[in-house]
Amino acid sequence: MKDRADPHVSTAGGRPGGLRRPSWARLDQKISPYLYVLPFFVLFAIFGLYPLGYTVWISLTDQSPMSPETSFVGAENFTRLLEDSRFWNSVGNTIGMFIVATIPQLMMALILANWLNRRLRGIGFFRMAIAIPIVTSTAVVALVFGMFFARDYGLANGILEMFGMERIDWRASRWTSWMSIASMVDWRWTGYNALIYLAAMQAISRDMYEAAELDGASRMRQFWQITVPLLKPTIIFTVTISTIYGLQLFTEPLMFTSGSGALSGGSTGQFQTITMYLVQVMRTYHQWGYAGAIALVLFLLIVVMSAINFLLVRRISSDR
């Protein structure tokens, strides 16, 4: 009588029982993950890499819709950019408004999220309410704030007069226009960042807070010693996203003024951002090659600022 083969013993020096996965199954296991992510990278190549490559090429030419011929000019556009005072004015405005808007915005979002993370009556309503600015049109926000900061009939000046202060022409000077535009940005995006922080806070174990309370730690100390360190990855994410958005600021300052010269950002360019200057060069002056150089420099500026903010936030979080 022949012994029956034990199915759990390998007969081919490989898998138990000599059971081998069919070759097509192994092939599917190796290839299918790449097929799942392939559509994204195809679209990214079409709408991301190709425009970037085209921008690099066009920045090295003098292409213009007003000229039938395009010549290769090398680094001439970038050399011209270094001596362009209007470009550097827009860089100063962009970075200034980014700092004025982003730092208070993220601080307020963190504090707001910490408050919304508590067990309060009607907390669901407040959590929903902070999402309202996100779904509001940027153009509507800009129009409302434009009326709020109007020189002759704006509510902001009305409040100042109630306290015996003089009216301010919010669009006339650099600092007042920066503050006005920063308030629009903060109103729109503070709730968005607060929701991100809130979601991260709810993943922190309550046991840590209860143990801290038993040790006598105050709420403030719990916030700085437990909440903020554990939110470091989330804070880095929001800082990076805010940096990218802040350096591409366009709609709010554009809608802050009106008329055909809106892209100029005020009579002296006091709130003209890099993106506004880029569009002005491209649409008004028809210098597509020069606009390509501005776009590339803006891209590099975003990369550098994001890296600086990343290192700065990581260093601050590590010190705590």
| Full DSSP string of 136-169 | S-HHHHHHHHHHHT-TTT-HHHHHHHHTTPPP--
Output phi, psi for 107, to 5 deg. Answer: -65, -45
Instruction: Name the DSSP class of 293.
Output: H
Distances 12 to 4, 9, 22 between C-alpha atoms, Å: 16, 9, 15
pLDDT of residue 258: 66
Residue 189: partners with Cβ closer than 8 Å, 6 or more residues away: 105, 133, 134, 242, 245
User: CB 61: neighbour CB atoms within 10 A?
Assistant: 18
pLDDT of residue 317: 63
* Two tokens, residue 42: 């195809």
| 3-state secondary structure at position 72 | strand
For tokens 């508590």, the residue is 118
DSSP lists the bridge partners of residue 61 as 72
pLDDT digit string, tens, across residues 212-222: 888 888 888 88
Question: Nearest-5° angle of CA 198, CA 201, CA 202?
Answer: 90
As a whole number of angstroms, the distance between CA 40 and CA 154 comes to 47
pLDDT of residue 22: 66
Instruction: Name the DSSP class of 4.
Output: P
User: CB 17: neighbour CB atoms within 10 A?
Assistant: 14
| 3-state secondary structure at position 184 | helix
Residue 271 contacts residue 174 (beta carbons within 8 Å): yes
As a whole number of angstroms, the distance between CA 240 and CA 234 comes to 10
Output phi, psi for 192, to 5 deg. Answer: -60, -50
- Burial (0-12, 13-18, 19+ Cβ within 10 Å), 314: middle
pTM for the whole structure: 0.81
Residue 317 contacts residue 235 (beta carbons within 8 Å): yes
Residue 192 contacts residue 112 (beta carbons within 8 Å): no
C-alpha of 177 from chain center: 21
Output phi, psi for 61, to 5 deg. Answer: -125, 175
As a whole number of angstroms, the distance between CA 17 and CA 168 comes to 85
Per-residue pLDDT tens digits of the chain, which is 320 residues long: 444 444 444 444 445 545 556 677 777 778 888 888 899 999 999 998 999 999 999 999 998 888 888 889 988 999 999 999 999 999 999 999 999 999 899 999 999 998 888 877 778 888 888 888 888 887 788 888 888 888 888 889 899 888 888 888 888 889 999 999 999 999 989 999 999 999 999 888 888 888 888 888 888 888 888 888 888 889 888 988 888 888 999 988 888 876 667 888 888 888 999 999 999 999 899 999 999 999 999 999 999 988 888 888 777 666 55
Strand segments, DSSP code E, in the chain are: none
As a whole number of angstroms, the distance between CA 28 and CA 38 comes to 15
DSSP lists the bridge partners of residue 72 as 61
